[in-house]
Chain A
Amino acid sequence: MLKPTNISTYLKGVSQVVSNQVNTGKQIAILPTKTVVQIPFAGTSPVALSKALPNGNVNITSGPAATSQVRWAHTDITVPDWSNYRRDSVKSPDVKSSGTEDSRKNFSYLMAGALGVTSAYATKSVVTQFVSSMSATADVLALAKIEIKLSDIPAGKSVTFKWRGKPLFIRHRTDAEIQAEQSVPVSSLRDPQHDNERVKDPKWLVVLGVCTHLGCVPINNAGDFGGYYCPCHGSHYDASGRIRKGPAPLNLEVPEYSFPSDDLLIVG
């Protein structure tokens, strides 16, 4: 039975938060089946409005040649804000950017230049560090050279040193020996080399004591030519270290050496 107090609940169009046990049977809300957004026409200007009015003759053109593309305006795309990346001096829209152009350019160029130089120096030091790690160590370099005090070697005497694991012959030649070697005709030699090509100072002959035949150590002041004689197979070298007789094909090797002073010889 309907009581008068209950009738009003049937007439209400609102939903009930707290149920009063009366089923009103109303739908709370009706959602549209599809969303349609229609933007009503709004004239932009009298001229535009006037131009938009047809004069009555209306026709429709379609076909492959008629433009049929459709462009939608996507209003949900936000335009990115680049303010964080811009200089303070050009942020204001009221200020001419040409006024601060010089100072901005100076700053840019200075920063670019300074950073360029710094990075070039840093690169150089890093590269140097890695490259120098590949070169010989200090102890190896120390063994690579030998210093010889020449005043200890009397004239006409040949002294043997150990240099880089090999015998090294230093010969203080006499004037007669020099004269003899200078006058040897080059064409008669097996390995043609003039004496001047083999010595920097004619008084001093510096050669490696390794026979060019099979690597034996020749004997000083021996052989047919007064120079060196290899006892293994009988190669004769003269006082310029040149091969004169025997099986060896080449002259004794002359290493790198220099005379920093009159009394000092450095080999290597």
Chain B
Amino acid sequence: MASSIVKTPLIRIVSARGYSQLAPISGIQNYEIKSSVLSNKLVVAAGDNESAITRISIVFRSIHKNSSQFAITRNIQQVGANLTATSDRETIAYTLEGTRAAVEKALPFLTEVATQQVFKPWEVSDVSNRILLEIATRPLQLRAVDLLHNAAFRTGLGNSLFVPKSQIGKISSETLQHYVASNFLSGRAAVIGLGVSSGELTQYAQSLKINTGDGCLNPSPYKGGELRSNKGGDVAFVAVAGEGAGLKDSKEALAFAVLQRAVGIGPQIKYSTRDNGILTKTIGSAQEYAAAAINVSYFDSGLFGVLLALPSKCSRKVVESAVKLLTSSTVSDEDVTRGKNQLKAALLLDAESGANAIHNFGTQAVLLQCLQTRARSLGRRLYNYKRCQ
């Protein structure tokens, strides 16, 4: 996630206006993130933003393997807290959020859900119908992105976010247990807290019983290819992409993030239909179709391209011009400036939500083992970033 890397507050001046106001529910914005690595390589990061809501997240790095939809339902809501499991292609995060008192009560459940999973066979079989429904109702644009990954990486990152239909009901609880045992290791885990003090969180992290080890990481090299799936209907979703930047090279990742905005991700002004990106200028803005640049960065690789939604009959011409844009096009200074501005605004807006912030921190901590908390340096780098093609 290229954008995740820089989602800490960029400009601390923004928080200055808060001095004359009451502290908002989301707390103060210029909080300090204190991160440390425990002896078993568990990354602990805490930021006390004086918010009324505390969020604690336990994040594991994992090659995504078909266990995403397991809603481990516990009676957390009785104390007024929320527990969610969020997974993408590289990480899975168990996040508990609620008021401080509620989180304190519900913390044992988070520990149990995240580190001491018990997959009871009847519970596993119970979710089959639900997964069938969710797979059947996937939006097509999501499928396009899924197929794009499949074509680009084949395995690893190429695996779908969803279980293949053929596997539903066939994954046993032992398979899941084995997966947990081999992936949920301290060397690839992080504990993140927002609205909680660093000392308390470290104490909590030390009490977690996570198996030590680093596990094995299978890199998924970019391979490329083409996949099609006919789902009927008049609207075609076409995703065209090449290899982007991984988070390893944060400078490249930042560049791609700016480029994504320069190419255009749809109208940025409320109620507006106008998109000033290069993409819209190239393919023209007709009423029937929409286009957006997509950019996604994983640890060692990434994808950059465009996603088009258009009537299938006229797709040929539009896709051709989009590919032409990706392969041979120049980006003007003006576009880069617009891209940088849009990215800054998006980052700042995103960082205001505690839920987004903890997700981003978790991804950074578990993939990079450190947090890019130096917001100013990131901001400076963003400003210094010049046009390069």
User: What separation, in Å, do the CA atoms of A154 and B51 have in the docked complex?
Assistant: 114
Of listed A58, A61, A62, residue having the most chain B CB within 10 A = A62
Q: 1/0 contact trace for A14-48 toward B, CB 8 Å?
A: 00000000000000000000000010111100110
Instruction: Report yes or no: B266 in contact with A50, Cβ–Cβ below 8 A.
Output: yes
Q: 1/0 contact trace for A65-96 toward B, CB 8 Å?
A: 11010100000000000000000000000000
Tell yes or no: B86 within 8 A of A by CB. Answer: yes
Instruction: Report yes or no: B266 in contact with A53, Cβ–Cβ below 8 A.
Output: yes
* Chain A, 49-63, CB within 8 A of any chain B CB: 49-63
The distance from the CB of B219 to the nearest CB of chain A, in whole angstroms, is 20
Contact for A56 among B70, B288, B291, B296, CB less than 8 A:
B296
Tell yes or no: A4 within 8 A of B by CB. Answer: no
For A43, the chain B residues whose CB sits under 8 A away are 235, 288, 290, 309
The distance from the CB of A111 to the nearest CB of chain B, in whole angstroms, is 50
Instruction: Report yes or no: A55 in contact with B71, Cβ–Cβ below 8 A.
Output: no
Contact for A59 among B74, B87, B265, B271, CB less than 8 A:
B87
* A53-B71 contact, Cβ under 8 Å, with A58-B142, A61-B85: no
Contact for B233 among A41, A47, A64, A70, CB less than 8 A:
A41
User: What separation, in Å, do the CA atoms of A70 and B146 have in the docked complex?
Assistant: 23
Instruction: Report yes or no: B83 in contact with A63, Cβ–Cβ below 8 A.
Output: yes
Give the number of residue pairs across the A-B interface with Cβ within 8 Å.
Answer: 130
A39 — nearest CB in chain B belongs to which residue? B233
Tell yes or no: B334 within 8 A of A by CB. Answer: no
User: What separation, in Å, do the CA atoms of A42 and B309 have in the docked complex?
Assistant: 10
Tell yes or no: B200 within 8 A of A by CB. Answer: no
Contact for A50 among B85, B87, B234, B290, CB less than 8 A:
B290
User: What separation, in Å, do the CA atoms of A227 and B248 have in the docked complex?
Assistant: 138
Instruction: Report yes or no: B294 in contact with A42, Cβ–Cβ below 8 A.
Output: no
The distance from the CB of A259 to the nearest CB of chain B, in whole angstroms, is 90
Pick out which of these stretches binds chain A: B40-48, B117-125, B133-141. Answer: B133-141
For B133, the chain A residues whose CB sits under 8 A away are 70
Tell yes or no: B262 within 8 A of A by CB. Answer: no
User: What separation, in Å, do the CA atoms of A40 and B359 have in the docked complex?
Assistant: 33
Instruction: Report yes or no: B145 in contact with A56, Cβ–Cβ below 8 A.
Output: yes
For B141, the chain A residues whose CB sits under 8 A away are 52-54
Instruction: Report yes or no: A66 in contact with B233, Cβ–Cβ below 8 A.
Output: no
User: What separation, in Å, do the CA atoms of A68 and B130 have in the docked complex?
Assistant: 9
Contact for A54 among B76, B130, B233, B294, CB less than 8 A:
B294
The distance from the CB of A54 to the nearest CB of chain B, in whole angstroms, is 6
Question: Size class of B's contact patch?
Answer: 35 or more
Instruction: Report yes or no: A55 in contact with B234, Cβ–Cβ below 8 A.
Output: no
Instruction: Report yes or no: A65 in contact with B82, Cβ–Cβ below 8 A.
Output: yes
For B116, the chain A residues whose CB sits under 8 A away are none
User: What separation, in Å, do the CA atoms of A55 and B87 have in the docked complex?
Assistant: 17
For A56, the chain B residues whose CB sits under 8 A away are 145, 260, 294-296, 303, 307
For B71, the chain A residues whose CB sits under 8 A away are 62-64, 66, 68
For B293, the chain A residues whose CB sits under 8 A away are 55
The distance from the CB of B355 to the nearest CB of chain A, in whole angstroms, is 10
Instruction: Report yes or no: B234 in contact with A46, Cβ–Cβ below 8 A.
Output: no
For A40, the chain B residues whose CB sits under 8 A away are 231-235
The distance from the CB of A41 to the nearest CB of chain B, in whole angstroms, is 5
For B243, the chain A residues whose CB sits under 8 A away are none
The distance from the CB of B36 to the nearest CB of chain A, in whole angstroms, is 26
Tell yes or no: B326 within 8 A of A by CB. Answer: no
A49 — nearest CB in chain B belongs to which residue? B290
User: What separation, in Å, do the CA atoms of A53 and B146 have in the docked complex?
Assistant: 13
Instruction: Report yes or no: A53 in contact with B3, Cβ–Cβ below 8 A.
Output: no
A70 — nearest CB in chain B belongs to which residue? B133
Tell yes or no: B287 within 8 A of A by CB. Answer: yes
User: What separation, in Å, do the CA atoms of A220 and B344 have in the docked complex?
Assistant: 128
A59 — nearest CB in chain B belongs to which residue? B88
For B292, the chain A residues whose CB sits under 8 A away are 50, 53, 55
For A49, the chain B residues whose CB sits under 8 A away are 235, 289-290, 309
Tell yes or no: B68 within 8 A of A by CB. Answer: yes
A52 — nearest CB in chain B belongs to which residue? B141
| Given A53-B141, A57-B3, A62-B84, 8 additional A-B pairs, CB 8 A | A49-B235, A50-B266, A54-B141, A57-B296, A58-B296, A59-B87, A62-B71, A63-B82
22 inter-chain pairs at a CB distance below 8 angstroms, sorted by A residue, are: A41-B139, A41-B231, A41-B233, A49-B289, A49-B309, A52-B309, A53-B294, A53-B307, A55-B265, A55-B292, A56-B296, A59-B88, A60-B86, A60-B87, A60-B162, A61-B86, A62-B68, A62-B84, A64-B71, A64-B76, A65-B97, A66-B84
- Listed in ascending order, the chain A residues whose CB lies under 8 Å from chain B are 38, 40-43, 46-47, 49-66, 68, 70
